[in-house]
Amino acid sequence: MNTQIAKGNWNIVKGRLKQAFAELTDDDLTYVAGKEDELIGRIQKRTGKAREDIEKYFDDHVR
C-alpha cells in the first residue's frame, strides 16, 4: 500500500473504499498516520478479504 498517496488524498481514498466495500463505515476508515496495518486489519475484519487483496486494491486504485 502506498501510504504517501493515501495520506495526501485520504478523503478521496475513503470514498473509493466505501464504494468498493459497502460494508465499511466511517469508523472503520479512520486513518491515523503510522497505523496502516491497523487500518488494513479493520478492513479485513469487516469485509473478509485477504490482506493481499486489500493492498492490491490500494496499489491499483490509489494513485
Listing DSSP states for 2-55 in one string gives -HHHHHHTHHHHHHHHHHH-TT--TTTT---TT-HHHHHHHHHHHH---HHHHH
As a whole number, mean pLDDT of residues 29-43 equals: 82
Terminal-residue alpha carbon distance, the chain: 10
Which carries the bigger pLDDT value, residue 58 or residue 5?
A: 58
pLDDT at position 51 over 90: yes
Mean residue pLDDT of the chain comes to: 81
Q: What is the CA radius of gyration of the chain?
A: 10
Does 34 have pLDDT greater than 80?
A: no
